[in-house]
């Protein structure tokens, strides 16, 4: 792992030169492990609502939740760029967006992310003007799941394509250093990637993006109750954990039985 600190400008300059790898973190040990593995961008995502807190979706995540998990991750002092999600309804106005972005920065984040394009362009500009680096998020927006009635692939028709291209331009113009594309059709994701000067980081959006991001629990197979269709776990972490615990349970039971016999 490089000892050089990753900054938003580092991520921006990686466009066209190397694939940007990004993973989610929610606590100290995972942040430290992934940083030691050399992941350059770590996101304290509001996906923690499901994989850490057991909520049905991200709309239940609060600023207090985010601050708690950002603080834990920040204690690892990663060389990676530690970015944090602004949660549901925490950036309705530019003023509110800046206040809550500063809360995450004070908790230890080095950049913030929010969902939306032209609709939140004033919020993005206000955040960037306040000196806080910003990462965009377009395509399927998890915080809008209730309004949209589920997780849906975006860019399947000309209207959605046009909207995504306009939103990507707005996010970049407002000052974002990178842009996450979630569940965008590969063709549209590729078009956004080639038309924008900031890097795109895809999740379920094909291989033409400048980088890829996953929920770490999906990558490691430690949340077996649901795995997105576009994810191929690199290990069956839940199986290994159950086997380790079962082996330990057997060992302590056998030790106890052995002590009784010897006694």
Of 23-32, 157-166, 229-238, the poorest mean pLDDT is in: 229-238
Q: What percent of the chain has pLDDT over 90?
A: 85
Annotation says 182 is catalytic: yes
Q: In the chain, what are the domain boundaries?
A: 8-232, 236-263
Q: Rounded CA gap, 137 and 170, in Å?
A: 12
User: What architecture (CATH level 2) is domain 8-232?
Assistant: Alpha-Beta Barrel (3.20)
pLDDT for residue 99 is more than 50: yes
Out of 110, 115, 182, 191, which one is annotated catalytic?
Answer: 182
At 190-234, the pLDDT tens digits run: 999 999 999 999 999 999 999 999 999 999 999 888 888 888 888
């Amino acid at each position: 792992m490089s000892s050089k600190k990753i900054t938003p400008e580092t991520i921006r300059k990686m466009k066209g030169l190397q694939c940007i790898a990004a993973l989610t973190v929610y606590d100290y040990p995972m942040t430290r492990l992934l940083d030691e593995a050399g992941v350059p961008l770590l996101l304290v995502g509001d996906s923690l609502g499901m994989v850490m807190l057991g909520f049905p979706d991200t709309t239940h995540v609060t600023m207090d939740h985010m601050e708690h998990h950002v603080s834990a991750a920040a204690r690892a002092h990663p060389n990676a760029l530690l970015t944090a999600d602004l949660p549901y309804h925490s950036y309705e106005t530019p003023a509110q967006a800046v206040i809550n972005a500063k809360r995450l920065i004070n908790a230890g984040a080095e950049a913030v992310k929010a969902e939306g394009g032209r609709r939140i362009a004033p919020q993005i500009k206000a955040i960037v003007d306040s000196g806080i680096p910003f990462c965009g998020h377009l395509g399927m927006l998890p915080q809008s799941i209730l309004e949209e009635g589920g997780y849906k692939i975006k860019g399947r028709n000309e209207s959605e394509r046009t909207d995504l291209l306009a939103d990507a331009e707005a996010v970049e113009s407002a000052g974002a250093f990178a842009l996450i594309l979630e569940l965008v059709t590969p063709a549209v994701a590729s078009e956004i990637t080639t038309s924008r000067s900031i890097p795109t980081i895809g999740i379920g959006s094909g291989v033409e993006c400048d980088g890829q991001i996953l929920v770490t629990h999906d990558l490691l197979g430690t949340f077996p109750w649901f795995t997105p269709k576009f994810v191929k776990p690199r290990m069956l972490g839940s199986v290994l954990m159950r086997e380790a615990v079962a082996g330990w349970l057997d060992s302590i039971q056998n030790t106890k039985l052995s002590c009784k016999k010897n006694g």
